[in-house]
Structure 1
Amino acid sequence: MRGLSRPVLRAGWCGRLWAPPRRALAASPPSPPAATSGALSPFDRRLKRKQKNWAALQAEPAKCDYLREEVGGRIADRVFDITRTFPLALDVGSGRGYIAQHLTKETVEKLVQVDVAENALKNAVETEIPTVKVVADEEFLPFKENTFDLVVSSLSLHWVNDLPKAFKEIHHVLKPDGVFIGAMFGGDTLYELRCSLQLAELEREGGFSPHVSPFTAVADLGHLLSRAGFNTLTVDTDEIQVNYPGLFEVMEDLQGMGESNCSWNRKPLLHRETMLAAAAIYREMYGNSDGSVPATFQIYYMIGWKYHESQAKPAQRGSATVSFGDLAKIEGLISRGKK
């Protein structure tokens, strides 16, 4: 568990990247493809674009970016762990460049930043790496096959309607022996807020509706990445806990992050009495001794490689020359020898 406190408040080389128009996305600043509500399309992508654009236009957009910058730094650390230079990289759902600001041009020589919100790209943090900014949807990447040496993504893919398709798109644009490194919110994210709102609605209104979007389970990630064609997979989880003055500050910062709920089945309005009750329940059930309240963000980190014949391969089944039973006997002999 990691802890954070709420803070006080060149394009010449990109022409060869584009794919033929096999994708559904237009080339001009687009809206995400229209979707209808339902189990296969839980999110209103047009609303999510509006939310992210609104957040990027605030007077101090960096005020609420502390979580994104923290996770972006951890993604960059995983990039640095791979001892190679990546000539061309792609940041899917880049926002204002939360990963790029932690990278160096010695590690990534050129970078393409993709986001559905054009205002986030316009207000991106400057970096020493030459970059190109592209407005596009994560589910419809408009690039040629085998283009990028590295693809990264931080806290964006939890809003896509078709996560398996998004993983396949990423795999498609990676070169053989290219690597995908990503992070997304996990199922226990904001459980304190979720429980407080549900209990308050049950008490005041006799029922409840979802106010926190659904998240992917960690057990599904490895399967989805494998189905998309990735191998040598690594999936791990972490939790970041941020302390806030109260429930209203939690929701204010979520809005400032562009993380307001955009589920089709969301409730459009919360009554004042319900909100006050939820704030009291939040403080009573989860409050810290100093009067603040915690908000937990569960993060899934994933690494997957695109197959290349030079990669190490697992040994054939049945080729082992030593059994686990023999290993146990060796440990016993070593223990007796020490005595």
Structure 2
Amino acid sequence: MQSPPKLFDTDALAMHRRRAELGAQDDWFLHDYAIDVVQERLQEVNRTFTDTAIVGWQGAQWNEKLGLSAAVVPDNETLDLAQNSCDLIIHALSLHWSNDPVGQLVQMRRALRPDGLMIAVMFGGQTLQELRIAFAQAESRVLGGISPHITPMGEIRDLGGLLQRAGYALPVADSMDVNLSYQSPLQLMHELRNMGETNVLEQRQKRMMRRDVLAAMLDEYQSAFSTPDGRVNATMEFVFLTGWAHSDTQQKPLRPGSAQSRLAQALGVAERNLDND
């Protein structure tokens, strides 16, 4: 079987995460936001889960704040999950760094028991759109071309399709935009570094950024995305992927033509015969 192309430098990602773990946990507030949303959704499901796993480098933080006693699994390309071992798996804001996201979704589905639930949280395509635009405009102006600085992240329509490809029942993909503001683009970049969310693309520029490019980027960002009080905006898009392992007890759509009453009758209106109009 052909392996997917390697988009990310996993050694650099591990190094960035080790560096982030030495910093202040206050900079991990985006994890806290995602945890709160997942907690609300688990409450809506209204089920008791007994064998759970959390996938991700901050899995211990998620485990504690969700009040679970879950197995914490590193987000390696091959997940340490036994088949039919879990009734709930949460992928904790790490799937956007996977070189094979479909493969990870498939591995989680296989680890679920029938009617088990999977929730994956990841950053979506609108994330850091301001920083992406500012870098592109600055490099075009200074260098006459552009290089990748921001990780390409999936659009929600494509990400929803991954659930179907991975074989989940009742797949749902939805997103939430979180609009942040910073004193300057440099503060944003510093915070991304402290969260372990900086560029690890295989095709990234591995030398130091030129000062004139950085200055041009700061100027572009400040002029295009500043607020009336002099701060700058930044967008973070969270995508939530939800799917279930197939089970005979799940609701299924009715076969076409199996309805027992007409829509007009349900709505209390007269039915029209379009052939005679």
TM-score by length of 2: 0.91
Which one of the candidate residues 32, 41, 48 is aligned to 1:85? 48
Contact 2:182–2:233, Cα closer than 8 Å, also in 1: yes
Worse overlay, 93-102 or 258-267: 93-102
Identity %: 30
Which residue does 1:215 correspond to in 2?
Answer: 153
Q: Which runs of 5+ in 2 are unaligned?
A: 272-277
- C-alpha separation between the residues in 2 aligned to 1:96 and 1:315? 39
1:85 is aligned with what amino acid? T
Query: Is the helix fraction higher in 1 or 2?
Result: 2
- C-alpha separation between the residues in 1 aligned to 2:29 and 2:178? 11
2:194 is aligned with what amino acid? G
Contact 2:54–2:72, Cα closer than 8 Å, also in 1: yes
Contact 1:78–1:181, Cα closer than 8 Å, also in 2: no
Q: CA deviation at 1:216?
A: 1.2
Which residue does 2:217 correspond to in 1?
Answer: 278
Which residue does 2:275 correspond to in 1?
Answer: none
Q: What is the aligned residue count?
A: 268
Q: Secondary structure at the match of 1:198?
A: helix
- C-alpha separation between the residues in 1 aligned to 2:242 and 2:220? 38
TM-score by length of 1: 0.75
Tell me if 1:149 matches 2:87.
Answer: yes
Which residue does 2:71 correspond to in 1?
Answer: 112
Which residue does 1:32 correspond to in 2?
Answer: none
**Structure-to-structure mapping, 1:10-89, within 5 angstroms:** 40-58=5-23, 60=24, 62-89=25-52
Tell me if 1:317 matches 2:256.
Answer: yes
**Structure-to-structure mapping, 1:120-159, within 5 angstroms:** 137=76, 139-159=77-97
- C-alpha separation between the residues in 1 aligned to 2:164 and 2:34? 24
Q: CA deviation at 1:229?
A: 1.5
Which residue does 2:119 correspond to in 1?
Answer: 181
1:69 is aligned with what amino acid? D
Which one of the candidate residues 44, 60, 66 is aligned to 1:97? 60
Which residue does 1:197 correspond to in 2?
Answer: 135
> Against the structure 1 CA distance between its residues 84 and 287, is the aligned structure 2 distance closer, same or farther, given a 3 Å change threshold?
same
Q: CA deviation at 1:222?
A: 2.3
Q: CA deviation at 1:330?
A: 3.0
Contact 1:73–1:99, Cα closer than 8 Å, also in 2: no
Contact 2:106–2:166, Cα closer than 8 Å, also in 1: yes
- C-alpha separation between the residues in 2 aligned to 1:223 and 1:196? 30
2:83 is aligned with what amino acid? E
Which residue does 1:254 correspond to in 2?
Answer: 192
Q: CA deviation at 1:218?
A: 1.0
> Against the structure 1 CA distance between its residues 316 and 328, is the aligned structure 2 distance closer, same or farther, given a 3 Å change threshold?
closer
- C-alpha separation between the residues in 2 aligned to 1:329 and 1:156? 46
> Against the structure 1 CA distance between its residues 315 and 206, is the aligned structure 2 distance closer, same or farther, given a 3 Å change threshold?
same
Q: CA deviation at 1:100?
A: 2.2
- C-alpha separation between the residues in 2 aligned to 1:235 and 1:299? 11
